[in-house]
Amino acid sequence: MSDKVNAFETIDVIVRASGRTGVEYVLNTVDRFGVTPPEYVLLTEIHGEHSVEIVNIGDAAKEKDGFTKKGKQKYRIRTRDDEVTRLRNWYGPSLFGKMFTGKRPQLPYTFDEVGFNIEQPDNVVDIGVNKDQQEEIEKLTEALKAAQEKTDAAEEALKKANKK
């Protein structure tokens, strides 16, 4: 038996779920963080390959594993059994069992195993942003969100005033 611990690769994705409600067409996006290769398989089975867009390459999948003496959260590498339980609970045993068969299903640990190259996906562009630039972008994004909230509040107040 090997001492090597297999670790699931992870990516962060945006899932585009769409459908109809009456006469309206609805597009809903959901952020999913720490998506593993088997979860990617399930997401693409449900929503289609083009509906799952990678936004970040993550670290090895981890599970919470108690606290240090100073109260800081500890983590451990997620095991195959952890992942089977997590995916069966989240996506249901029927879909999970359809995609991964057997009492002890074999799960892919890497995206290469499922035919998805996370090194150079088509829909990710590296714009060469350093840490300081990223922090500035995040600050500006927050300021933009705050300004939008103020604009929305002002528009709502104007609508109420016009109704009187």
Same domain, 82 and 161: no
Same domain, 114 and 141: no
User: What confidence tens digit (pLDDT) does each residue in 109-154 have?
Assistant: 998 888 877 654 454 444 555 666 677 777 888 888 888 888 888 8
Same domain, 62 and 80: yes
**Collapsed DSSP state (helix, strand, coil) of residue 11:** strand
pLDDT at 151: 86
The helix or strand, by DSSP H or E, that contains position 158, with its residue range, turns out to be: helix 131-163
Same domain, 117 and 134: no
pLDDT at 155: 83
d(CA 68, CA 78): 18
pLDDT at 2: 39
Q: Nearest-5° angle of CA 32, CA 37, CA 38?
A: 95
> Across the 164 residues of the chain, what is the mean pLDDT of every consecutive 10-residue run?
65 80 71 92 88 82 81 84 93 93 90 76 51 74 84 84 80
d(CA 74, CA 88): 24
Q: Is residue 102 in some structural domain? A: yes
- Sequence-distant (6+) residues with CB within 8 A of 117 are 111
